[in-house]
């Protein structure tokens, strides 16, 4: 008689569905035989990695038969200097997703709770359920975080609050005053995870830097990534910064060698390429304006964004629009799984890629 291994999994895992990433270019090529494809689905940098990062990767290729530095000493030292922190406060991860999972594994027990916003990053409920804990999604306010409501949702079993700033997939953001008001009132034994994956794109003067809040709030963890503006998505490198005590706990559950040699070298080099970072940021700012203007010309409502993507309302069920765009060779991201069935999210690409998306969208919408 066959064994039902799903039934043998823990209760939280039984409720999960695998995370659905943006459709890869190769998959669309296989399915439709299209070869001229623009992928604007996964918030990747359209410029790719900096030349310095590429050079660093090439310099370590001959040593990939050796294990990487399990402590990530050089990258931690570079991050500590850049951020004004101690290396002992930093936890390196295989992408910032890895750090989010480490946090959940370290502090969540069955029947504990996490609190996060409706329309927030899908990984928050995923890592919660994987630990057989209970995810508590708080209704959004204008597609963004309602921190007052999230504060009210914290209960005796709450162990972690996840806050994405800016938020993915909506691009909304929380101001300094709003965040500080929340941090001052959250119970000190509840971890607050401030996910700043898109931090480097934001140019709003009232946007808070989570790193500057760490000293005053020992229960705060700030996560960032090299997958977005640094263009290292394929190498998977992220990090968390926290108190030394929290970092010590995370490093107890972190897998040995969770960050590979190529990623460590590339991230260290990319961190030092300020000119490339600024060029990428300026390109994104121009692209955001280009896409927003194009959506307005199509009479489509969109959510103002400070990230490298825009979520827009198709005015109808979005999945047929998404599928029609695929046939045009343009990959965007459906976000019905985030409770937004009429919206699509489009990443900001190069100017010609943005224009191709807008032209294809105009044809699809007739």
Question: Would the pLDDT of 5 be above 70?
Answer: no
Pair 81, 298: CB distance under 8 Å: no
In Å, what is the CA distance from 291 to each residue of 62, 316, 336?
A: 42, 20, 21
Is the pTM higher than 0.85? The answer reads yes
Segment 22-54, tens digit of pLDDT: 778 888 888 888 888 899 999 999 999 999 999
Segment 305-343, tens digit of pLDDT: 999 999 999 999 999 999 999 999 999 999 999 999 999
Confidence of residue 252 (pLDDT cuts 50, 70, 90): very high
Pair 227, 236: CB distance under 8 Å: yes
> Exposure pattern of 312-331 as b/e (b: 16+ CB <10 Å)?
bebeeebeebbebbbebbbb
Residue 277 burial class via C-beta count within 10 angstroms: exposed 0-12, middle 13-18, buried 19 and up: middle
User: DSSP secondary-structure letter at 128?
Assistant: H
> Exposure pattern of 68-104 as b/e (b: 16+ CB <10 Å)?
bbeebeebbebbbeebebebebbbbbbbbbbbbbbbb
Q: Indicate the SS3 state at residue 280.
A: helix
Q: pLDDT value at position 4? A: 75
DSSP 340-365: -TTEEEEE---HHHHHHHHHHHHHHH
Question: Would the pLDDT of 71 be above 90?
Answer: yes
The H or E element containing residue 162 is: strand 158-164
Segment 214-228, tens digit of pLDDT: 999 999 999 999 999
Confidence of residue 2 (pLDDT cuts 50, 70, 90): confident
Q: Is there a cis peptide before residue 169, judged by omega within 30 degrees of 0?
A: yes
Pair 297, 337: CB distance under 8 Å: no
Confidence of residue 205 (pLDDT cuts 50, 70, 90): very high
Q: Among residues of the chain, what percentage have pLDDT more than 90?
A: 89
Residues 94-98, mean pLDDT to the nearest whole number: 95
Segment 14-23, tens digit of pLDDT: 676 766 677 7
Distance CA 72, CA 55 (A): 19
Pair 193, 223: CB distance under 8 Å: yes
Residue 128: closest CA among 155, 165, 96, 158: 158
Segment 103-157, tens digit of pLDDT: 999 999 999 999 999 999 999 999 999 999 999 999 999 999 999 999 999 999 9
Neighbours of 286 (CB within 10 A): 13
Q: pLDDT value at position 19? A: 66
Pair 344, 313: CB distance under 8 Å: no
Q: pLDDT value at position 13? A: 74
């Amino acid at each position: 008689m066959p064994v039902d291994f799903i039934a043998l999994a823990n209760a939280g895992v039984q409720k999960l569905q695998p995370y659905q990433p943006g459709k890869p270019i190769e998959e669309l090529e296989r399915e439709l035989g299209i070869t001229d494809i623009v992928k604007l689905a996964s918030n990747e940098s359209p410029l790719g990695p900096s030349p310095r990062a590429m050079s660093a990767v090439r310099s370590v290729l001959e040593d990939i038969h050796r294990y990487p530095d399990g402590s990530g000493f050089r990258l931690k030292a570079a991050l500590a200097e850049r951020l004004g922190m101690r290396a002992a406060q930093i936890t390196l991860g295989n992408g910032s997703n890895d750090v989010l999972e480490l946090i959940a594994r370290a502090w969540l027990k069955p029947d504990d709770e996490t609190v996060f916003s409706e329309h927030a990053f899908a990984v928050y409920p995923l890592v919660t359920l994987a630990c057989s804990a209970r995810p508590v999604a708080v209704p959004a306010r204008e597609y963004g975080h309602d921190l007052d409501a999230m504060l009210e949702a914290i209960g005796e079993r709450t162990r972690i609050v996840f806050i994405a700033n800016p938020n993915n997939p909506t691009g909304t953001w929380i101001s300094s005053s709003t965040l500080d008001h929340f941090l001052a009132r959250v119970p000190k034994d509840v971890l607050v995870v401030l996910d700043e994956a898109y931090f480097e794109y934001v140019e709003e003067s009232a946007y808070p830097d989570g790193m500057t809040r760490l000293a005053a709030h020992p229960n705060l963890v700030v996560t960032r990534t090299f997958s977005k503006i640094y263009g290292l998505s394929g190498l998977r490198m992220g990090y968390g910064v926290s108190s030394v005590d929290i970092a010590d706990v995370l490093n107890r559950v972190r897998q040995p060698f969770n960050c590979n040699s190529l990623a460590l070298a590339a991230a260290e080099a990319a961190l030092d390429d300020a000119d490339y970072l600024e060029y990428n940021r300026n390109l994104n700012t121009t692209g955001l304006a280009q896409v927003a203007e194009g959506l307005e010309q199509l009479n489509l409502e969109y959510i103002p964004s400070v990230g490298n993507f825009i979520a827009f309302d198709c005015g109808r069920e979005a999945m047929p629009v998404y599928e029609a765009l695929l046939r045009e060779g343009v990959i965007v991201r459906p976000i019905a799984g985030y409770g937004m069935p009429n919206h699509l999210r489009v990443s900001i690409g190069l100017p010609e890629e943005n224009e191709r998306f807008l032209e294809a969208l105009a044809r699809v919408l007739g």
